[in-house]
């Protein structure tokens, strides 16, 4: 029993199994929590409109019934543009990375005129 305990505490000269288990748990928790937090943060209206190409759309949204209506219910970007299921959400996030590419690298939607021309695709 003493030999097993020693092996658990010091399997090598450098790292104990206990230390490795703790590091593994921390990494495991991070791999579970960080994607969830990232998805939640990037699904907010504030995040969506932080891109300069979305400012005209945001101004339009603020004048619509989606933003202010008699019932007081506000439709946020994620309500219509991000599916609630995990596979659909991941697919939409990957598609959104194409929007970033089109804006910052390809420059195909970096002006209001170019954005309007491709608006239906977005």
Domain assignment of residue 28, yes or no: no
Domain assignment of residue 80, yes or no: yes
pTM of the model: 0.65
Give the pLDDT confidence score for residue 27 in this predicted structure.
98
d(CA 7, CA 94): 45
Give the pLDDT confidence score for residue 11 in this predicted structure.
65
Give the pLDDT confidence score for residue 78 in this predicted structure.
92
Domain assignment of residue 63, yes or no: yes
d(CA 107, CA 23): 43
Look at phi and psi of residue 107 and say left if phi exceeds 0, alpha if psi is from -120 to 50, else beta.
left
Domain assignment of residue 111, yes or no: yes
Average pLDDT of the residues in 29-45: 93
Domain assignment of residue 4, yes or no: no
d(CA 71, CA 46): 22
Give the pLDDT confidence score for residue 45 in this predicted structure.
92
Domain assignment of residue 110, yes or no: yes
DSSP code of 120?
A: G
The number of folded domains in the chain is: 1
**What's the chain's average pLDDT?**
87
Domain assignment of residue 82, yes or no: yes
Domain holding 92, by residue range, is: 53-121
**pLDDT higher than 70, residue 86:** yes
Domain assignment of residue 88, yes or no: yes
């Amino acid at each position: 029993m003493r030999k097993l305990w020693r092996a658990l505490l010091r399997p090598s000269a450098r790292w104990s199994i206990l230390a490795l288990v703790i590091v593994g748990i921390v990494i495991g928790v991070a791999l579970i929590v960080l994607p969830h937090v990232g998805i939640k943060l990037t699904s907010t209206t504030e995040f969506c409109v932080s891109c300069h190409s979305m400012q005209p759309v945001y101004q339009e949204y603020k004048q619509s019934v989606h933003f202010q209506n008699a019932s007081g219910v506000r439709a946020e970007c994620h309500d219509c543009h991000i599916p609630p299921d995990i596979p659909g959400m991941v697919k939409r996030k990957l598609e959104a990375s194409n929007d970033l590419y089109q804006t910052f690298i390809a420059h195909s939607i970096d002006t209001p005129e170019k954005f309007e021309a491709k608006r239906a695709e977005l």
